[in-house]
Amino acid sequence: MRLLKKIVAPAVLALSAIGFVHHASAQEKSATLLNVSYDPTRELYDEVNRLFAKQYKSTAGVDVKIEQSHGGSSKQARSVVDGLKADVVTLALGYDITAIEKAGLIEKGWEKEFPGNSSPYTSTIVFVVRKGNPKGIKTWADLVKQGNQVIVANPKTSGAARWAFLAGWGDAAKAKTYDLSKADQVKASTDAAAAAKDHPAYNSAEARAYVAALYKNVPVLDSGARGSTVTFAQKNVGDVLLNWENEAHLVLEEFGKDKFDIIYPPVSILAEPQVAIVDKTVDAKGTRKIAEAYLNFLYTKEVQDVAGQLHYRPRDTEVLARYSDSLPKIQLFTIDETFGGWDKATKAFFADGGVFDQIYAVK
């Protein structure tokens, strides 16, 4: 199976990338970029890189090779901080890019460097259940019922798992939601996030009790999103898998639509994987121009269409509408409005001694 082959492949690409040699500055005839990304985006960037290389050759006359590195989002950010020479990072959490910024490798303000909060596509957290949904799991409340085993990765190490944690917390805290397939609702959510001064979701006793109950139903915490997919779909552990929407579709495609169903809960969270140029690297290598072109290319109709085909939600609402069958409307809340952004949420929930440590330690 294609997925399994990719799972057993090395998580991080060859070390040759670290000793990268750039040829573009001399003759502008060839160049290599390194894109350090998170776990499930292998298939997406395989296609994007092929298209970009073709487009850049035709418009700029330069042969571009784009190397990829994949792994858990936070682990990938750590690798860049520790010396992996990424030209660009395309990670699951903005917080992970901020960590690279704090290390002095990315300039402040990167979130505004590209459209849509520097997030060229979005996603959300959905449920995957066994065919026919024998446990009748439809809502977040169903996950905490006695006897329902939930498979989700460890939020200390996995970006998808952090989104899942916040999705459950926000639902229990009754976060305000939007239909983000509509442009006016996108603007309304953005305006509301900018205006939000306090975030009562943090003080919700119902939400804290909910996530404590949820993790009592989790028999194993894998370190990453794809590992939890394998636990659920290949090892047949658990009644429901919480994962990225695109990863859920991949489960059906790789393991059989006759074995699993995707369940869209009434409410979930808007997940915004973000991108940034690693300024220190591109300035040293002379690859800034190509790196900017590469990340801007993600917003073209061509790539937005590729994102839709692979079950990521395109930022372009016209393109998104073409995939309404596989990417149905769902009420979503945002991390910025509900939790005040990743810095605040990480310190409260996922830092050492935070809420997750408190509730999981007493499981």
- Interatomic CA distance for residues 299 and 302, integer angstroms: 8
- Interatomic CA distance for residues 363 and 361, integer angstroms: 6
Among 167, 181, 144, which residue's Cα sits nearest to residue 267? 167
Q: Which residues of the chain have pLDDT under 50?
A: 1-27, 363
Name residues whose C-beta falls within 8 Å of residue 188's C-beta, 6 or more positions apart in sequence: 178
The pLDDT value recorded for residue 355 is 96
Q: How many residues does the chain have?
A: 363
Burial profile 86-125: b = 16 or more Cβ within 10 angstroms, e = fewer:
bbbbbbbbbbbbbbbbeeebbeeebbebbebbbbbbbbbb
The pLDDT value recorded for residue 361 is 63
Which pairing describes strands 331-333 and 267-269: parallel, antiparallel, or unpaired? Answer: parallel
The pLDDT value recorded for residue 29 is 86
Single pTM value for the model: 0.85
The pLDDT value recorded for residue 16 is 37
Strand 63-71's sheet: what is its strand order? 63-71, 30-38, 88-91, 274-277
Are 278 and 80 in contact, with CB atoms under 8 Å apart? yes
